[in-house]
Structure 1
Amino acid sequence: MQQSTVFTPQPEVFTVSSTNFTPESRKKPVISGTDAVAGAVGGVFSVLLGQPFDLIRVRLQTSNSSNVLKTTRDIWVHEGPLAFYKGAAAPFIGAGVCVSIQFAVFHSLRQAFEHDGRSELAKAYLFGGAAGAANSILSSPVEHIRTRLQLQPHGVARLYAGPIDCIRSIVKQAGIRGIFKAYPVAFVKETQAFGCYFLAFEASMTGLSKVRGKLRNDMSAWEIIPCGALGGIGFWVGSFPLDVIKTRLQGDSFGADAKYKSTRMAVMKTWQEGGMKAFWRGLSPTLVRTSLSSAGCFTAVEQIRKLMATPQQLEPL
């Protein structure tokens, strides 16, 4: 009698294999239009939900105060409610493109190395980090401009009329290179942050799908929301001290007027101001913000991918 062969599924996410990347297990990365569009919509959602909390984060990171309520009240009283969206023009312009890059790069790499045998969690971190590195080329200038707009005085004392005026001022003072101020720190921060971002989200989705007894693609929007929130929390918990230094450097003056002459000096002065606590100043409003914005972003992305993607693209990886 001919013996039948039983094919067993690949190990689930939490199984780690020592299999190396091989040409046979690797496909050429292909950027999906579906992932790009889904990421762009997710980016807009994330800015709408998170911008007010981001303003508070920047104010706390660049001051000696850690009082969230006082900082929020001062903005409301002295600058008005619309001030919570100060500097939002640049993120609205860039967020769609940035998040589009993140998800397109992540999913293209994930599909290219679909059958390499390595842990899905390891791949989530590595490919998320690659997405962050690619994204940093655009996100760093956008964050730089937003930070300067958020830190400028209110009313007649304001320094910039808007994003374009801010760019002109930066170029006039420091040339095109000035737009990429603190880029090395931004690159490291984005790589680490997005590695943790996608790792936390994928681990949450896998764990919840097992608990619920569902396939990944059968998860409802309400089930994706908490996983997206955890992804955002992973993003910031894994990278917040780096972001504090990046924000201080990007908000600093240029040339002889600069408070921080180097990244090392920024680290030392931050430590002198408050020790380890200074590197986590502004975390609480950031976690509130990221829970909202990341939940909205991931939910929008996952739902749009379901609507637009082919069955092959939606197969569990």
Structure 2
Amino acid sequence: MDGTASPSTVESRKRSTAKDLLAGSAGGVLQVFIGQPFDIVKVRMQTAPPGTYSGMMQCAGGILKNEGPLAFYKGTLSPLVGIGACVSIQFGALEYMKRIFQAQNLRAGTGGPEGKTFNPTQLIIAGASAGIANSVVSGPVEHIRIRLQTQSATKPLYNGPMDAIKKIWAEKGIAGLYKGQVATLWREGPGYASYFLAYELLMQREMAAKGIRREEIAASHTILYGAIAGYALWFTIYPCDVIKSRMQTDGFTPATGQKYTSTFDCVRKVIANEGISGFRKGLIPTLIRSPFANGATFVGFELAMRVLNSY
């Protein structure tokens, strides 16, 4: 044997990857539709000067009064396409790593009869890999979304996602699109390690306790576990998310209102000007949004996988 996979094995792997990506896209689309109104409030609160908003309700009320109800879906086209792709990549990378660890478990005689019971270290590595892979797309996608969400309603700089991409590319090239990427990487790696660790451990626990297969877990439990995973994500990385948002709404040069020269300069200035509380701005709408958006993400993925696996 030369170790080369047979044509049937290669084809099976391709089918599995395609299913992972499609099911991830379904989860991503649900996440955007449910979470977008909360997300714009979070971003406005994270990036506004100190004292702009007394709380979430004032921010949301101001958006509704001054910009109308459709403003809560400002910049949705970018995340609808982009976050769908991001979540697709997340689950594609996660499931790919899980298959690698499954093969290792089977060789070592661990992980149960099918090798699918993963230990925490394996899940942390798989989740972090998913986050890092996702960051390649999530960085520019969220950059464009945040600029659209925070621009003036009366004098918008960008007419939409494509116009924003074109203008940023013309001014700063690919580096401009990836502004804030250092903070994005710090967020995605640890964040998704926590996210998928929490979710997969809860799923494994129920399967082991009840002696059932993954597809037999009730959708309501999937939503609950996704909600818990969402809280694990945000409690791990929220300060990084604040810094990312600040970097991605910052000017590109001093002439265009640049406040921060680097990620660490941003951290230093937030602490100096606002204290530790600066890293909590926008947390309440995030925590309200999280169980709905993340529960929808996981139930969308799991149900889509069940449908795809039935063919």
Q: TM-score, normalised by structure 2?
A: 0.86
Q: Which residue is 1:19 aligned to?
A: none
Q: Which residue is 2:242 aligned to?
A: 244
Q: How many residues align?
A: 285
Asked whether the equivalents of residues 28 and 86 of structure 2 are also in contact (C-alpha less than 8 Å), the reply is yes
The amino acid across from 1:47 in the alignment is V
How far does residue 202 in structure 1 lie from its aligned partner after superposition? Answer: 1.2
The amino acid across from 1:249 in the alignment is M
1:179 aligns to 2:167 (yes or no): no
Moved more, 123-132 or 60-69: 60-69
How far does residue 309 in structure 1 lie from its aligned partner after superposition? Answer: 2.5
The amino acid across from 1:301 in the alignment is F
1:12-41 CA-to-partner distances (Å, cap 9, x unmatched) read xxxxxxxxxxx9xxx999462111110011
1:97 aligns to 2:85 (yes or no): yes
Moved more, 71-80 or 211-220: 211-220
The structure with the greater share of residues assigned to helix is 2
1:183-218 CA-to-partner distances (Å, cap 9, x unmatched) read 122112111111111011112223344565644331
Instruction: Return the match for 1:82 from 61, 70, 80.
Output: 70
Moved more, 72-81 or 269-278: 269-278
Moved more, 41-50 or 30-39: 30-39
Structure 1 runs, 4 residues or longer, greater than 6 Å off: none
1:58 aligns to 2:43 (yes or no): yes
**Measured at CA, do residues 89 and 255 of structure 1 come closer, stay the same or move farther in structure 2, by a change above 3 Å?**
same
- Whole-angstrom distance in 1 between the partners of 2:310 and 2:185: 33
Moved more, 302-311 or 77-86: 302-311
- Whole-angstrom distance in 2 between the partners of 1:226 and 1:66: 31
Gaps of 5+ in 2: 4-8, 112-117
Moved more, 262-271 or 208-217: 208-217
- Whole-angstrom distance in 1 between the partners of 2:174 and 2:221: 44
Asked whether the equivalents of residues 224 and 295 of structure 2 are also in contact (C-alpha less than 8 Å), the reply is yes
Moved more, 216-225 or 204-213: 204-213
The amino acid across from 1:221 in the alignment is A
- Whole-angstrom distance in 2 between the partners of 1:272 and 1:208: 46
- Whole-angstrom distance in 2 between the partners of 1:30 and 1:57: 39
Instruction: Return the match for 1:36 from 21, 41, 50.
Output: 21
Asked whether the equivalents of residues 144 and 181 of structure 1 are also in contact (C-alpha less than 8 Å), the reply is yes
Q: Percent identity?
A: 37
Q: Which residue is 1:71 aligned to?
A: 59
Asked whether the equivalents of residues 182 and 263 of structure 2 are also in contact (C-alpha less than 8 Å), the reply is no
Q: TM-score, normalised by structure 1?
A: 0.84
How far does residue 284 in structure 1 lie from its aligned partner after superposition? Answer: 1.5
1:21-64 CA-to-partner distances (Å, cap 9, x unmatched) read xx9xxx99946211111001111000000000000110111122
Task: Provide the aligned C-alpha RMSD in A.
Answer: 2.2
Q: Which residue is 1:13 aligned to?
A: none
How far does residue 66 in structure 1 lie from its aligned partner after superposition? Answer: 5.4
Q: How does 1:98-117 map to 2 (within 5 A)?
A: 98-114=86-102, 115-116=104-105, 117=110
